[in-house]
Amino acid sequence: MEAFSSFNLWQRLSSSWMRVHRRFFHASPHMASSEDLMFKNYDDVQHKLMEEECILINEDDVNIGAATKKICHLWSNIQKGMLHRAFSVFLFNTKNELLLQQRSMSKITYPGHWSNTCCSHPLNFPAELEERDSLGVLRAAQRKLKHELGIEAHEVPIESMKYVTRIHYKSQNVPNDGLWGEHEIDYIIFVHRDVTLHVNDAEVKDVCYMTKADVRSFIDNSTERAIFISPWFRLIVEHFLPTWWDNLQDLRPCLDYRTIHRMVDCQI
């Protein structure tokens, strides 16, 4: 794919975004009163995915149980302190360009938002619960790269993934429906390889490789051009990504397994 080099991208998403924007903002204030009402406006595939079990954790990233993705992402539960484990993959090609994805318009949280390569959760089953060398999280990342982008496991072997650090953040859904949100400790994973993409349209609306300068301009001009950026990606770009990108050939100076960077109170 060509590196992103202009901002005509906003024209491709504006009309579809506004349809979703209107749908959410005019939803009934009582939509959380029952399971049927809660999901009546959502895609069946995304509804089913909300049944997956995420890993509940405390603020020190200690496993304390499990709950469905739906329960974890309800803003009412988040406001009571519910927190779960997540990951964000940053995949760079051998030209040192970062692969971004635009989330599908059918996603329940942050539809149509541009973000890093792949973002999701390790699930509550043995292979993804394993904490030794963060193997559970890395296996989950490999699984979701296949699910969302069609990247085969042999193209992103576990040993090619670099766990960098963890970020703790919280954000309400956009459009702000008062129902959904995110509250995660997010494992940052870097991959530096050329891969073959077979994008899953149910998960991803668009993809694009960008240079470091492109990403900076993309973020800086996003509001003016009605381009929506996921809150976790914006935080990472603003606080961490430039340094990590500069050390892409040797990430060892950036690896920090002890710190959980507290970004909950940061302006997004």
SS3 call for 12: helix
**Nearest alpha carbon to residue 31 among 42, 40, 20, 21:** 40
Catalytic annotation, pick one of 119, 148, 182, 254: 119
H/E run at residue 16: helix 9-25
CB-CB contact of 209 with 3 (8 Å):
yes
d(CA 2, CA 24): 34
Based on its alpha-carbon atoms, the radius of gyration of the chain, rounded to whole angstroms, reads 18
Q: Which two tokens stand for residue 185?
A: 């400790």
Across the strands, what pairs with 192? 92
Is 254 designated active site? no
d(CA 244, CA 27): 41
CB-CB contact of 147 with 159 (8 Å):
no
**Using the 8-state DSSP alphabet, how is residue 127 labeled?**
H
Per DSSP, the residues of 44-108 read: HHHHHHTTSEEEEE-TT--EEEEEEHHHHHBHHHHTTT--EEEEEEEEE-TT-PEEEEEEPTT-S
Catalytic annotation, pick one of 128, 148, 184, 203: 184
Which residues form the catalytic set?
119, 184
